[in-house]
Amino acid sequence: MEEKNYSILLYYCYTTIGEPEVFREEHHQLCLELGLLGRIIIAGEGLNGTVSGLKEDCEKYMQAVKADPRFAHTDFKVEPHVSHAFQKLYVRVKPEIVHVGLHDINPNERTGKHLEPDEFREMKDHDDVVILDVRSNYEHKLGKFKNALTLDIDNFREFPEKVKELEHLKDKKVLTYCTGGIKCEKASAFLLEQGFEDVYQLHGGIIKYGIEAGGEDFEGQCYVFDGRIAKEVNKVNPLVISECYICGTKSDRMVNCANSQCNIHVPICQDCGWEYEGACSTTCKDHPKKRVYDGTGYYQKEMNGYDPSKNSKRLKKDSLKA
């Protein structure tokens, strides 16, 4: 068995960042110095990231983040891994740390009650409870909590409009959940704003629930935004619920279609993966934009002009001038 000398960190923190662009440069430099790879989003409303690195470097990173009073309450989900889970490093400034368009909602002022994993497990099967999955279709089709209500959305920004369909649940206790907890902060706050009175959220999301509560009653696998694509969560009563997009056999092997013009996230079994060279159909298999399939179904996103070493180059140039 390979040694798990690396860690994968999943985290977010809603806080005020006065100068996001300045902080981006400082934070980017920190990640470069520690050899971390992954995706980090910075906005005026906070920090959202998932990175990988050697265990000791990840420890230094968490210590550095929490040493800043703005991020002292950041809850890191830490998972051991055999290698980096990313190929590159992105640190970007965006309008929101999770794109939903609810700019006026501040989870630090009002949000659903946080439930720790054991509390969520104890409460989720009560008769007066509805478990609400706030993730997108490709995520909950791969895995979800038993008896959870899912929404037909392709992106989280569609969530506010879908809430109109939940009016009949206003007399219920609504337990929201997502991958790491960040979407629930705004989703549960929005539900409260719309007149839902008893709203909760799974603190730390599915990932923390798997780490601390064994993942009981989470059916299927959890879609994750790193090189693993899908992650096993349930160590108590696991169940495969997804089917191969091509042949229909039970499969929780999530891939991106090898055709970059398609790139849909779907389960494809090992046999079909190789037969169709990572594509989701014969059309995509024959497409001129089809990428080389290596058996994983994971492809690094294009940089689109983003220079990951921009800050270090600038700092080096400044130091030479000095």
User: Which are the catalytic amino acids?
Assistant: 178
**Using CB atoms within 10 A of its CB, is residue 238 exposed (0-12), middle (13-18) or buried (19+)?**
middle
Check if the beta carbon of residue 57 is closer than 8 Å to that of residue 35.
yes
Residue 122, sorted as left (phi over 0), alpha (psi -120 to 50) or beta, turns out to be alpha
- Give me the residues paired with residue 157 across strands: none
Q: Residue 114 and residue 122: Cα distance in Å, rounded?
A: 14
Please name the residues in contact with 210: beta carbons below 8 A apart, sequence gap of 6 or more: 218, 222, 231, 232, 233, 234, 235
Torsion of CA 55, 89, 187, 126, to 10 degrees: -30
SS3 of 70, please?
A: helix
The DSSP element (H or E) to which 311 belongs, if any, is helix 310-321
- Give CA–CA dist 191/163, Å, rounded: 7
Element containing residue 187 per DSSP (H, E): helix 182-193
Of 189, 137, 200, whose CA–CA distance to 163 is shortest?
189
DSSP state for residue 289 in the 8-state scheme: T
